Every structure is written in structure tokens, then in C-alpha cells.
Structure 1
Amino acid sequence: MKKKLIKTFTFRIITYLIFPILLSTTSAEIILRVAGYKPWQIENLNVTVEPKGNFFTKDAELGYKHLPGKFKVTLNGNYSFNATHLNNSLRITHPLNTENLQSNKPGIWIFGCSFTYGWSLNDNETYPWLLQTKFPNYEIVNFGVNGYGTLHSFIQFKQALQQGKKPKIAVIAYAGFHDRRNALLRARSKQMAAWNKLGILFQPDARLAENGDFSYSMTELEYREFPLMRVSALSHFLEINYNQLEEQLYKSREVSLAIIREFHRLAEANNVKLVVAGINAGSAKMLEELRKEGIATIDISVDLKIPANNNLPHDLHPSAIANRQYAEKLGSFLQELKL
């Protein structure tokens, strides 16, 4: 009798609980795959750097920064570009032999990510370099670094001011995807999982305070995958949606806004004119809000879906043509400021 009850109970568990769960998850897996969702595959990067084999070094306040020197970077074995970093780790905006001629001129500092750095482009194809040719009476400084967000830019700005330097104009090249970088969300950690070759890495991580200000600290970069997301489209789908929810919960756009406001206060205190340049389509709402607060803004974005504006099939980043458009739009705006 007891064995019969156990068998009956087991049968009902399988029939009414386990089987429906398996059926529903299998059905969901099939539907998602048909809809184009896939299990997560970590990006297989084929990037070689000569001569040192590495492009970055760790930094206590920024997480990482460029190594000084001249580099040849090859993507996917068939596309190369040359990049030159000064001893302060920043990319050059004019030939090295003219460095002393520029150093005493008033400065225009441009802060941003890989779009500003000019990833996949030669030195003289980046928009900061092109701006230098348009404004020979100024020293254009390219603070752009791959993977940086607005929080990195704020820290860079503070560091440079503490060294006794002061520009006439500071430009933040803002993109909507910087929000997740500023709050160091899961989605950002997921992106960096493929790129991090430095081992255990700490990144600045900002959080919004109740009064609307922000605070930040250094947080270990760590990405924890959802179970089975490398083999299950359903698990990966759930992880993507969780990441989107996290972005809302942590109010990442509001974090970015608070950082830019503090950047603006620091600039005003040092008699520096701040300009926020929207460099992608996702920056429009931020520019609108900043404009209402009296902060100078300009939309320099281009349509990266147009083949001529990106470096595909080698790389997704803006092309030399796109950078010429950035330089033209930002340069025209700076001229309107009557430099």
C-alpha cells in the first residue's frame, strides 16, 4: 500500500509539475530561437597590438588607462591602424615634433570614450586631431579612452585641474550608452568580460544620492552569468531583461545627469566653459535637459547605420568619414562661441 502511494505521488509530481515545466520551458526555448534569440556567446576578439602586446595598464582612480608609446593595432588579422599615446597616456592630436609649440596655447579638452579616442582610426583621422587643424591657436587635448564613461571623464577633469592645468573649454562627448558605464551595471560588466585582459580590475562606480547628487567608489569588475545562458536562449533572454530592469532601478541616466551637473559646477568654479556634445542618437534627451539648465550643448551625432560612417566589416566604430563630420559640427559650434 505504501509503495503504491509513493508511486502515485511520484506520478502526479511528474505529470502535473515537472512535465508542464519542461514543456513550457522547451516551448519558450523554441519560440525564442525562432524569433532570433540565441544563447550567449562571449565575443571572440581577434586584436593584436605591436610592439608590447597590450594597450592598457591599471590605474588606481580610473581602473585602467592607455600605455604610452606608438602602437600598431590589427583587427581580425586583416585591418590595422596606428595609435600614438603621450607619456601622460593621452592620444596625440598633432605630430609629436610640434608638442612644444602647442603646450603654452589655451586649451580645449575633449573627454569621451572610444568614439572620441578614435578606435580603429589612425591618429590623424580622429576628430580631435582634425579640430586641432581647425584651431591652430589652441591646444586640443584628446582625453578619450576606450570604454570610458562620463564618470571617468569627471575624474580625469579633476585630476588635470589638480595638476595646475586649466583649459578655456572642456567638451564632454556624451553617448546614451555611457549611462550603464557610469553606474557599472551588469550590462556593462558583460560587455567588458571579453575585453578585460588585465586580470582583476576595479572600476569607478557611481550611485545616485537622495538629494540628487552622486557618490562614487572603486568596485571590482565582476560579471556573473545566469545559469545555462551559454546554451539556452531562454536563460539569456531572461538575463537581458533583468539587465534592462537593473538599468531602471539604478536610475543610470539620472546618475549621468548628476555627474554632468557636478562637472559643470567644477568647470564654472575654474572659469572653464563646458560644452556637452551628443555623439550618438541616444544622447538627445540628455542634451534637451541640459540645455534647459543653461549648459551649452550640441548634437554632433551621425547615422552609424550608413555604411560609410562605420568601419564594418572590420569594426563597428565610427569611420574617418564620420569623424570628419564630428569635427565639422563641433568646430562650427566652437567658432560660434567666438574663441
Structure 2
Amino acid sequence: MAKGSNATRPTWARRLVSQLSDVLGKSPLANIIFDPVLGWRRAPGRARAAIGDSITWEWDIDPTGFRRLPNARPGKGQKKVWVFGCSFTEGQCLPIEQTYCYLLQDRFGGAEIQPYAIAGYSSFQNLLQLQANLMTSKPDVVVFGYFHFHLIRNVAHPILWKNRHSHPAFGRLQKVGSRSTEIFRPAAFINEFGKLNFRKVNMPLSEQEYEGMMAYAPDRFTRHQISCRVFEEARALTEAAGAKFVVAVLRSGDSIEAKEVDKTPPMETMFVKQLLERGFDVVDADPNKPFEDISFYPTDIHPNSSANKHFAAVIGEKLDTMLN
């Protein structure tokens, strides 16, 4: 059996990869455009999206390329909370009013919640965006939303590119024929000087490219080491700016199968334990329930409104103490 084949993965992983491949091949991601540092972002404006006949929503993207919170009223002297993440934080499949960032903004009317999240992003892309933000502004709290798929995204693991050519965020942009201007993912690595660095990995991969790269794909230990460095640099930048840093675990790994409830507790999964050992402030926002209860399963694996209410409640309790 070929190394890295779908049959060698755990059942939950095969199901997740299958759903992601199916859903991501059909669902629009609201005007994805090329970004020379992050790989991709969204074009400003309004767009509609749908998955099948049952899930529809709208995007309102601000001039910086991120989803706009319509209830945010920035004011002088307000405390700022920057929330970084991927589609879980952006609110894939949900109207903006049901996303946890919107619910947090409602809860903290005297603060400004600013989401910096785009579908498919890694924690490393979040770090790059944080670096850019800090050049012109300062937050009071930085929240990094963590989803266990970030561990393979951070290193641009080849499994991410297989059979993704039909998806607008993982293939060539429309009317772009040159490989140099394809969407890419920043792949983090630790260089010979012990510094965190990155290279640009173009996509999609051919079958031959995929099989060749799988032989050199970073193993779990390497993925964890690199990801820990990503979080360490994000925390250091945040604290140097005089702000507080917290990791919010939205989905921790070993994800629960539908109708099953046996799962490693979120705070006991390997990577989260490594963060705790390094002294990170980590809040467990994982609902820790079967997919069918907290997502649009079986149509889509993204968190539903119930899960987002849970995220908002748990993260909100943490922000109560951090903002005060």
C-alpha cells in the first residue's frame, strides 16, 4: 500500500478529507484573490455563497480583505481584540450574525472585535498577518483560534494539495495562466540558524508531484516543533506590543465521528499539551461533541450556529478577565 494513501489514515481522517475534497470542490469562497505574502485573501465587496440547496450565506468583505462585522462601532479609546483563524473563525456557511466574532462584539460593546480570518489559513499565515497589523496599530488582546488542521497547513503538507485543482482557493486564479502567479501557501520551516522562515509552495500538485513530495513530508514531531515556534513568535510579538495573547482551541484533533463521543479531551491532545508546557494561556472552546451536533454534517464539516454560540461563551468568559 502506498505511503500516505487514504486507506492508511484513521476513519475520522478519511471522512474529513473526503468531505473537504467534496465540499471545497463545490463551494465558492467569495472572490479569492492573489496575495504576494499570504498566498490569497478576499476581494472587498459583497458576495453570495451556497453549498448544495440547504446552506446559503452572504459575505461582506472590508477593504483589508476580511469579513466585516456590521455591529462594530470603533471609538476612540476602545480596547481592541484581534481574532485570528481560518474558516472556523471567519464563519464559513453562516450569516455574519451567527458567527462567534459577531456574538463577542455584541457581548463587549465597549470594545472593538476585529476578525482576521480567511478559509484555509494556517496559524503561520495568521502570524504573518499579525506582523503586518502591528506595523500600523496595537491591540489589547490577540486571540489565535486553533483548529488541528493548522498543524499540516503550517508546513504546507502535500496532502493539502491533492485533487484540489477545481477549488478557486487551491488552484489557478481565473484568467491567470502563469505558474508564478498561482495561489500558493507559505510553508514554515526552521532554518539552519534556528530561525523561523518560510518558502512559497505553489499548487495544485500533479499526481507525480504529490507522490514525490509525500516522501519528504514533515512528520508529526517536525510539524509540532514548527507550529510551537509559530505560536511562540506570535506571543512574543503580541507581548512586545503591550498586549495579551491567548490560544482558543476550537477543534483539537481526534475529532469525534458522528454518533460517537469517545475522544481525547481537548486539553490532553499532544499539541495542546505542548502549548501548555510552554506556558501558553489556552482556553478550551472545543464543544467536544459529535460532528452531527456541532456542524452542518453530513453536508459540511464547518461549525454551525450552536458551536459558534459555545465558542463565544467560552472565549467571552476569558476576555472578561483579560479586558478588565
State the TM-score bracket (shorter-chain normalisation): 0.7 to 0.9
CA change 1:48–1:279 in 2 (3 A) is closer
CA change 1:325–1:181 in 2 (3 A) is same
**Any stretches of 5+ residues in structure 1 without a counterpart?**
1-24, 26-30, 230-238
Residue number in structure 2 paired with 1:84: 60
Query: Which one of 166, 179, 184 corresponds to residue 156 of structure 2?
Result: 184
Query: Which one of 265, 268, 273 corresponds to residue 236 of structure 2?
Result: 265
Letter in 1 for 2:65: S
Deviation of residue 255 (structure 1)? 0.9
Deviation of residue 209 (structure 1)? 3.1
Query: Which one of 27, 32, 39 corresponds to residue 47 of structure 1?
Result: 27
- Asked if structure 1 preserves the Cα contact closer than 8 Å seen for 2:238 and 2:245, the reply is yes
Distance 2:31 2:240 in 1: 35
Identity, in percent, stands at 23
Deviation of residue 56 (structure 1)? 1.0
Residue number in structure 2 paired with 1:158: 131
Distance 1:145 1:276 in 2: 17
Letter in 2 for 1:223: L
Q: Deviations over 1:247-285 (max 9, x none)?
A: 417811211111111111111211111101111122633
Q: Deviations over 1:209-240 (max 9, x none)?
A: 3565421132322413159x9xxxxxxxxx6x
Mapping of 1:79-118 within 5 angstroms?
79-95=55-71, 99=73, 101-102=74-75, 105-118=78-91
- Asked if structure 1 preserves the Cα contact closer than 8 Å seen for 2:163 and 2:204, the reply is no
CA change 1:304–1:226 in 2 (3 A) is farther
Q: Deviations over 1:162-211 (max 9, x none)?
A: 1x211100011112211111111101222643423525222211112356
Mapping of 1:59-74 within 5 angstroms?
59-74=35-50
- Asked if structure 2 preserves the Cα contact closer than 8 Å seen for 1:43 and 1:194, the reply is no
- Asked if structure 2 preserves the Cα contact closer than 8 Å seen for 1:183 and 1:250, the reply is no
- Asked if structure 2 preserves the Cα contact closer than 8 Å seen for 1:46 and 1:77, the reply is no
Q: How many residues get paired?
A: 287
Distance 2:47 2:75 in 1: 23
Q: Residue 187 of structure 2: SS of its match in structure 1?
A: strand
Residue number in structure 2 paired with 1:279: 250
- Asked if structure 2 preserves the Cα contact closer than 8 Å seen for 1:276 and 1:298, the reply is yes
TM-score by length of 2: 0.79
Letter in 2 for 1:94: P
CA change 1:103–1:77 in 2 (3 A) is farther
CA-atom RMSD, angstroms? Answer: 3.1
Deviation of residue 47 (structure 1)? 2.9
- Asked if structure 2 preserves the Cα contact closer than 8 Å seen for 1:213 and 1:258, the reply is no
Q: Does 1:254 align with 2:225?
A: yes
Distance 1:331 1:264 in 2: 20
- Asked if structure 1 preserves the Cα contact closer than 8 Å seen for 2:98 and 2:308, the reply is yes
Q: Residue 117 of structure 2: SS of its match in structure 1?
A: coil
TM-score by length of 1: 0.75
Distance 2:54 2:291 in 1: 22
Greater Rg by CA: 1
- Asked if structure 2 preserves the Cα contact closer than 8 Å seen for 1:189 and 1:221, the reply is yes
Q: Residue 193 of structure 1: SS of its match in structure 2?
A: coil
